Amino acid sequence: MAEKNDSFVARKIRSEYEEKQTGKIEELKALDSKVKKPATVFGYVFGTAGALVMGSGMSLAMGVIGSMPIVGVLVGLAGILMVSVTYPIYKKILASRRKKYSDAIIKLSEEIINE
């Protein structure tokens, strides 16, 4: 039993060090990821930052952090603005990346479909 387990572990470790053969479908998935990942990362990071700024403004306005209601309202409005523009900016980044990679993706997908 231990020999089977050892053999399995050895094969698993070996597979991590072997060069992987990349086919056309893996190439297509990689291109698709190149299109979507930057926009997604931007959306998460900028949206989260906007939510944190908005929450900080709310805390300032309500006196939880300090007693600066005017500053809190202004910071909260800045956070609301950040959260509000996150999706339109995400869509613009995605559209520009799609435009940049569309020819390569269409060509590769046609090759896969016609095989």
User: Is residue 1 situated within a structural domain?
Assistant: no
Residue 81 covered by a domain: yes
Domain extent at residue 57: 22-114
Question: Could you give phi then psi for residue 112, rounded to 5 degrees?
Answer: -70, -45
What is the per-residue pLDDT for 64? 86
Instruction: Answer whether residue 56 is part of any domain.
Output: yes
Confidence of residue 20 (pLDDT cuts 50, 70, 90): low
Residue 11 maps to a domain = no
pTM (2 d.p.): 0.74
74 pLDDT above the threshold of 80: yes
Q: Decide if 38 is inside a domain.
A: yes
Residue 94 lies in a domain: yes
In a domain, 3, yes or no: no
Is residue 2 a part of any domain in this protein?
A: no
Burial class for 114, CB neighbours closer than 10 Å (0-12, 13-18, 19+): exposed
Overall domain count for the chain: 1
